[in-house]
């Protein structure tokens, strides 16, 4: 059992006060992503939780059906790249179950592009089942001309 003396209490309070600005700076530098998704979709919610656990600040907006599809198309995501949810972070669109590491790489490299997409819902991608049993899939960089190129490849586990 730890005995809390007045000196320990004051030292703990001073440590917390000294660390507070660093915690605020870390929170302020966390990427904020806004996700438009069907509110009843479990895999979308799982992906949002994965982003939060990776340090992202996440806001969500419910949408479905043709409204969600229109949102994707109006933001430059080609139909063949569609998945179940769409995010926006620092001016880039994130379509589908894109791993957090790829989003962070996109933000670091800042290519002239629409964003990233994982078409469909590949098993084992973030939010779609265990990574150690995943099928192979690609993350695509969606260019502004509507074309796409492989950004990252994930082999089957």
pLDDT tens readout for residues 51-104 = 999 999 999 999 989 999 999 999 999 999 999 999 999 999 999 999 999 999
- Domain locations in the chain? 31-154
Statement: residue 12 has pLDDT above 80: no
* Nearest CA among 89, 87, 143, 86 for reference residue 114: 143
Q: What is the CATH number of domain 31-154?
A: 3.40.30
Task: Decide: helix, strand or coil at residue 89.
Answer: strand
Are the C-beta atoms of 149 and 143 separated by less than 8 Å?
Answer: yes
The pTM is what?
0.81
Position 110 pLDDT exceeds 90: yes
* Strand spans (E) along the chain: 32-37, 57-62, 86-89, 92-96, 113-118, 137-143, 148-154
């Amino acid at each position: 059992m730890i005995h809390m003396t007045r000196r320990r209490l004051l030292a703990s309070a001073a440590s917390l006060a000294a660390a507070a600005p660093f915690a605020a700076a870390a929170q302020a530098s966390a990427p904020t992503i806004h996700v438009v998704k069907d509110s009843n979709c479990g895999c979308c919610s799982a992906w949002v939780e994965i982003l939060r656990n990776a340090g992202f600040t996440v806001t969500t907006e419910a949408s479905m059906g043709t409204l969600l599809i229109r949102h994707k198309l109006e933001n430059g995501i080609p139909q063949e790249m569609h998945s179940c949810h769409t995010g926006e972070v620092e001016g880039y669109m994130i379509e589908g179950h894109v791993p957090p590491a790829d989003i962070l790489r996109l933000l670091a490299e800042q290519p002239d592009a629409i964003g990233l997409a994982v078409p469909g819902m590949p098993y084992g991608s973030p939010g779609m089942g265990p990574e150690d049993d995943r099928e192979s899939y690609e993350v695509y960089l969606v260019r502004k001309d509507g074309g796409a190129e492989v950004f990252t490849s994930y082999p089957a586990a």
